[in-house]
């Protein structure tokens, strides 16, 4: 069975390339310039030409703040492109795994969100992702939409890498402490995708729909930063002397973020038998990988008596 992954260089696509796929699946990847989601119909035709039975859309417009002033691009990539991929899959009989986000919710719910809760995005990015979900749902029955949150990996742009960079540059950092969510390693989301693709490839037709897929447990960005620095310090990274909790109002951004991003992940556990590790354990695994590839001291320095 042939699987086509849209995306190569992003966090999730990178982890899909490291993932352990079930035997019998051949996996092909493509990204720009071969496949440009800003030209949805052409992109879908590139995928169709490979004749896959499964398609994973691991690409997206993910610049949350930039999207506020670039609505057209965000909607083209996050809504029109998945709609075109879904239409192509309907024509060819392929199944589509599409990724979405906690930012489709407004964060007002005092408990973790379940899959059927109404969406109410606060940002252009969230609205474009919600529209993309709706388009996939309307177009194709054989879809799996995975909503995830606070994604990070050793590559790409993410909170872990930003904290480590700023922590090495500054003595003190101020981090928002009133937004709650589940940091999720892209490696864990990739593992969920391999389970789902393996199931579909083996003939399962009862697991389509929308699912929440995050690491277990929740914290705030401040709590996440503290855990990053505690773990990073033990691995020899430079860390700041102090990290201060602040409210969202003290760190204004172009896009509003939900205060509550927690997603209830019981449905994917019951339907697909997939449970991601505790977020703290996945963070430790990510930092281990980053420490093992961190630059070593310069030769002259290392040679000092």
Question: What residues numbered 28-47 form the site for ligand NAP, per CB under 6 A?
Answer: 31-32, 35-38
Residue 156 binding ligand NAP, by CB under 6 A: yes
**Phi/psi zone of residue 214: left (φ > 0), alpha (ψ -120 to 50 degrees), beta?**
beta
x/- track of binding to ligand NAP for residues 106-145 (CB under 6 A): -----------------------x----------------
Instruction: Choose the binding region for ligand NAP from 46-54, 58-66, 199-207, 220-228 (rule: CB under 6 A).
Output: 58-66
Question: Least distance to ligand NAP from the beta carbon of 115, Å?
Answer: 15
CB 264 within 8 A of CB 110: no
Q: Which residue minimizes CB distance to ligand NAP?
A: 10
Please say which residue, 60 or 243, places its beta carbon nearer to ligand NAP.
60
x/- track of binding to ligand NAP for residues 9-28 (CB under 6 A): xxxxx---------------
Strands 172-176 and 180-181: unpaired
Q: Is 61 a catalytic residue?
A: no
Residue 151 binding ligand NAP, by CB under 6 A: yes
Instruction: Choose the binding region for ligand NAP from 19-27, 56-64, 109-117, 225-233 (rule: CB under 6 A).
Output: 56-64
Of 103, 125, 152, 222, catalytic: 125
- Dihedral sign (CA 273, 278, 281, 286): positive
Question: Least distance to ligand NAP from the beta carbon of 225, Å?
Answer: 15
Strand partners, 4: 28, 55
Q: Which of 7, 112, 167, 240 is close enough to bind ligand NAP by CB under 6 A?
A: 7
Residue 58 binding ligand NAP, by CB under 6 A: yes
Residue 62 binding ligand NAP, by CB under 6 A: yes
Q: Which of 123, 128, 139, 149 is close enough to bind ligand NAP by CB under 6 A?
A: 149
Question: Least distance to ligand NAP from the beta carbon of 124, Å?
Answer: 13
Please say which residue, 40 or 240, places its beta carbon nearer to ligand NAP.
40
Distance CA 215, CA 283 (A): 10
Say how many residues touch ligand NAP, by CB under 6 A. Answer: 27
Catalytic annotation, residues: 125
Q: Which residues bind ligand NAP (CB under 6 A)?
A: 7, 9-13, 31-32, 35-38, 58-62, 77, 99, 101, 129, 148-151, 156, 186
């Amino acid at each position: 069975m042939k699987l086509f992954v849209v995306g190569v260089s992003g966090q999730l696509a990178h982890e899909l390339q490291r993932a352990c796929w079930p035997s019998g699946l051949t996996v092909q990847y493509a990204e720009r310039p071969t496949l440009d989601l800003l030209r949805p119909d052409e992109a879908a035709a590139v995928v169709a030409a490979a004749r896959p039975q499964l398609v994973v859309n691991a690409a997206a417009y993910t610049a949350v703040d930039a999207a506020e002033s670039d609505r057209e691009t965000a909607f083209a990539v996050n809504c029109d492109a998945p709609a075109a991929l879904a239409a192509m899959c309907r024509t060819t009989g392929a199944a589509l795994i599409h990724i979405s986000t906690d930012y489709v919710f407004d964060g007002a719910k005092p408990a973790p969100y379940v899959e059927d809760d109404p969406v109410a995005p606060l940002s252009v990015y969230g609205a474009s992702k919600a529209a993309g979900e709706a388009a996939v749902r309307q177009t194709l029955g054989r879809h799996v939409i995975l909503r995830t949150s606070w994604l990070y990996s050793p590559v790409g742009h993410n909170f872990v890498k930003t904290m480590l960079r700023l922590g090495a540059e500054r003595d003190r950092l101020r981090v928002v402490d009133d937004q709650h969510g589940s940091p999720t390693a892209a490696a864990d989301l990739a593992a969920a995708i391999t389970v789902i693709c393996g199931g579909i490839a083996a003939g399962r037709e009862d697991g389509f729909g929308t699912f929440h897929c995050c690491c277990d447990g929740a914290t705030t960005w401040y709590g996440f930063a503290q855990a990053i620095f505690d773990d990073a310090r033990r691995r020899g990274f430079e860390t700041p002397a102090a990290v201060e909790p602040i409210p969202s109002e003290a760190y204004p951004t172009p896009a509003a973020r939900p205060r509550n991003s927690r997603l209830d992940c019981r449905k994917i556990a019951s339907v697909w038998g997939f449970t991601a590790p505790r977020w703290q354990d996945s963070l430790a695994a990510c930092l281990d990988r980053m420490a093992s590839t961190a630059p070593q001291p310069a030769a002259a320095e290392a040679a000092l008596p």
